[in-house]
Amino acid sequence: MKKIITIAAVLALAPTFASAESFQEAFESNRAMYGKNHTFEWNGKNFSTNHEEEVEAAVAATKENALDLIAKAKAKNKEAAKLGFEWKLTGGILKDAQKAADAGEYRKALDLAAQAKYHSRMGIQQHAYAQSNWHLSVPQ
Amino acid sequence: MKIIKKLALGLGVAAAAQMTQAADSGFDLATVNPEADRVALQNYFESRFPQSEISDYVNGIYAVDASSREQWEELEEFPPYEFAVEEGETLFNTPFANGKGYADCFENGGVGIRQNYPYWNKEAGTVKTLEMEINECREANGEKPLKWAKGDIAKISAYMAWTSRDKPINIEIPSDDPRAKAAYLDGKKFFYAKRGQLNLSCANCHVQGANIRIRADLPSPQLGHTSHFPVFRSKWGELGTLHRRYKGCHKDSRSKPLSHQVEVYRNLEFFQSYMNNGLVVNGPGARK
């Protein structure tokens, strides 16, 4: 949880660093090259290649944790839907997560909820990106 | 045909000179210029597909892909929508329980008016589509609204399009209400914004990707997109409305599609139809 907070803080400050490589770029290239559970350095600090949702899912597989992450994922997906950027499969993944939790498969439920939450966050990010870049493919 | 092409080109060039705008404008309410957008889109397709006549874009992919055109022309010899138009006419002329009918709700008795839809309705402060007004007409007369995607609503819409064939599409964006332009801009933005798990915009397939094979499909140019709706799609085996198509295409980016007739789909229809101003109504159409 600590880690997520630092990431969020760094992201918020990112523009002032005016770094050659943005945090996003550094994260993505390290993730692509080394996969999960790798540590990389960016602007003199260490970061994990795990997505914030993977960090959230890496908790004890208990009913409470599973239901908690499902609730967070649902809220995030609602946010994406409100912006009109909900992805096609997310609702189904959330249902599967709930089913897994009901069946006592808490590890599976956590992983599915993490995936749904990731989809939702990406949809929200897409919306933000679209606000300033949608015009790029308009013929002039 | 040659003459028409020359004329269109001449007009295009003259208009382009007036209408060209800076490359970094047209993306906010202050600078958006629908007429400049329309001309720019035509010019774009004219240089992409110099062998195609602008007036032929109402025929979708068949305007630019010679190989599928022949099949389609055969299909159109015995139009698969013929019976649906006849049924639509019957439905259109069948009075409601209160004795009134669709003809009472529309200008000119509902005949030959498709080219004016969708339009900005100032009182309601929203874009009205033809299908929306068909259902509003029913509700105003104590009838239940029809389901949006297909069936009776598509047949009635098809008949109304049929009575409007060859009329030039004439979408107006009234300058006395800034909300109209905002609706246009909203539709334009929807069309060009990337979305969904595949991170695709409508434009990725229907502008840059027009006539370029994407998996098993060839997307049509967006110019002409709305002229022939509702459409009889062989894949559906029946008529479907424009918003049915919007939902399917929206899903193709792996997004969760929105509901029929939501505001942003109507704004999208407003934008797309404005792009077709000057082309003619040729609905209902037939597609693979």
Task: Please tell me the class of the B2-78+172-287 domain.
Answer: mainly alpha
Residues of A in contact with B185 (CB under 8 A): none
Query: Is-above-0.80 flag for pTM?
Result: yes
User: B129 and B161 in contact (C-beta within 8 Å)?
Assistant: no
Average pLDDT, integer, range B238-258: 97
Amino acid B21: pLDDT? 64
Amino acid B253: pLDDT? 95
**Is the alpha carbon torsion for B109, B111, B112, B118 positive or negative?**
positive
Task: List binding-site positions of B for heme c.
Answer: 105, 137, 202, 205-206, 249
Average pLDDT, chain A: 88
Asked if A87 lies within 8 A of B254 by C-beta distance, the reply is yes
Shortest CB distance from A134 goes to which of B43, B193, B258?
B193
Q: Is the pLDDT of residue B9 over 70?
A: no
The rounded distance, in Å, linking the Cα atoms of A44 and A27 is: 14
Q: Is the pLDDT of residue A13 over 50?
A: no
Q: Is the pLDDT of residue B17 over 60?
A: no
Flag whether residue A88 sits within 8 Å of chain B, measured between CB atoms: yes
Lowest mean pLDDT among A62-66, B151-155, B217-221, B267-271: B217-221
Q: Is the pLDDT of residue B13 over 70?
A: no
Q: Is the pLDDT of residue A34 over 70?
A: yes
Which residue is associated with the tokens 């969904």? B196
Q: Is the pLDDT of residue A6 over 50?
A: no
Alpha helices in A1-140 (DSSP H): 2-17, 23-34, 52-57, 63-82, 90-102, 106-133
Q: For residue A117, what pLDDT band results from cuts at 50, 70 and 90?
A: very high
Amino acid A139: pLDDT? 84
Average pLDDT, integer, range B26-53: 94
Flag whether residue B23 sits within 8 Å of chain A, measured between CB atoms: yes
Shortest CB distance from A87 goes to which of B189, B192, B197?
B197
| CATH 1.10.760.10 fits domain B82-162 | yes
Asked if A87 lies within 8 A of B44 by C-beta distance, the reply is no
Which residue of chain B comes nearest to A82, CA vs CA?
A: B258
CA distances from A97 to A51, A112, A113, B254, B255 (A): 19, 5, 6, 20, 20
pLDDT above 90 as % of chain B: 86
Question: Which is more confident, A134 or A13?
Answer: A134
**Is there a shared CATH topology between the B2-78+172-287 domain and the B82-162 domain?**
yes
- The pLDDT tens digits of the residues spanning A42-56 come to 999 999 999 999 999
Amino acid A4: pLDDT? 41
CA distances from B75 to A13, B58, B234, B281 (A): 60, 16, 10, 19
Q: For residue B127, what pLDDT band results from cuts at 50, 70 and 90?
A: very high
Amino acid B23: pLDDT? 64
Amino acid A18: pLDDT? 47
pLDDT above 70 as % of chain A: 86
Q: For residue B14, what pLDDT band results from cuts at 50, 70 and 90?
A: very low
- Locate the domains of chain B by residue range: 2-78+172-287, 82-162
Q: Is the pLDDT of residue B34 over 50?
A: yes
Amino acid B24: pLDDT? 67
* Active-site pick, B249, B258, B264, B280: B249
Shortest CB distance from A126 goes to which of B41, B195, B204?
B195
Q: For residue A7, what pLDDT band results from cuts at 50, 70 and 90?
A: very low
Alpha helices in B141-219 (DSSP H): 152-162, 178-192, 202-206
Residues of A in contact with B193 (CB under 8 A): 130, 134
* B39 assigned to active site: no
Which residue of chain B comes nearest to A126, CA vs CA?
A: B195
- Alpha carbon of B55: minimum distance to chain A alpha carbons (Å): 19
- Alpha carbon of B210: minimum distance to chain A alpha carbons (Å): 13
Average pLDDT, integer, range B170-181: 96
Asked if A138 lies within 8 A of B197 by C-beta distance, the reply is no
Shortest CB distance from B255 goes to which of A88, A135, A136?
A88
User: B229 and B284 in contact (C-beta within 8 Å)?
Assistant: yes
Amino acid B2: pLDDT? 36
- The pLDDT tens digits of the residues spanning B90-125 come to 999 999 999 999 999 999 999 999 999 999 999 999
Q: Is the pLDDT of residue B7 over 50?
A: no
The rounded distance, in Å, linking the Cα atoms of B170 and B173 is: 10
- The pLDDT tens digits of the residues spanning B18-32 come to 455 666 678 999 999
Residues of A in contact with B21 (CB under 8 A): 140
Average pLDDT, chain B: 92
